Chain A
Amino acid sequence: DIVMTQAPLSVSVTPGESASISCRSSKSLLHSNGITYVYWYLQKPGKSPQLLIYRMSNLASGVPDRFSGSGSETDFTLKISRVEAEDVGIYYCGQLLENPLTFGSGTKLEIK
């Protein structure tokens, strides 16, 4: 199984500042078709997860462009610029390259 390792466990951010969350996969998520199958989700308190970034760097529909994704074959970063109070929750990375689909353990973002 592909292991997804996230860091940090939690991050506290002042509104207006930036935050970065890292995710590392135990196997390259770069498919031979050129697509990197890493995804980012946000689970707001008491809610279902919602898709933020797909295929490493593509912004999901309706997601503010304060969110961006980048990375390589195994190391990925979610950056949140100009953090707002509505960004609180747990961020998960996940891979759709192969079954079983796996997720990182989550990074909790709090507002200072």
Chain B
Amino acid sequence: QVQLKESGPGLVQPSQTLSLTCTVSGFSLTSYHVHWVRQPPGKGLEWMGVMWSDGDTSYNSALKSRLSISRDTSKSQVFLKMSSLQTEDTATYYCARVGPPGFDYWGQGVMVTVSS
């Protein structure tokens, strides 16, 4: 069945770079787009960017200068890297698949705290 699972450090120091991995199963990265969405504690959802099925990427302009999304199709993994982290980047980070009906599958999320 379709699954997405995020992994990465739970704690990152300010000004450091965050690296997260989304490992997917049950579908091919070359057939579906995978997005990253984050949610600060007690707040709403913010779209970060997308790895399109053709390998291209798009980013939220508010994060574009700090954000990079890549993938390894052989490992069924999508990667997120975001630099210059600040406390306001503390959030749960989700990867999610977009199929014909939209965001049809989400990962469980990974909580990232930015703190020294």
User: Which residues of A come within 8 Å of B, CB atoms?
Assistant: 39, 41, 48-51, 54-55, 58, 60-61, 92, 94, 96, 99-106
Contact = CB atoms under 8 A, between A and B. Distances in A.
10 contacts: A49-B45, A49-B94, A49-B103, A58-B101, A61-B104, A92-B44, A99-B60, A100-B60, A103-B44, A106-B44
Interface stretch (B9-17, B21-29, B83-91, B105-113): B105-113
B35 A101 contact: yes
Contacts of B102: 39, 51, 54-55, 96
Contacts, number: 53
B44 A60 contact: no
Interface of B: 35, 44-47, 50, 58, 60-62, 94, 96, 98, 101-104, 106-109
The B interface, classified by DSSP as helix, strand, loop or mixed, is strand
B111 to A, nearest CB: 11
Contacts of B98: 96
A93 B62 CA distance: 21
A60 B104 CA distance: 8
A104 B44 contact: yes
- Residue in A58, A60, A100, A102 whose Cβ sees the most chain B Cβ within 10 Å: A100
Contacts of A105: 44
A54 B106 contact: no
B2 to A, nearest CB: 11
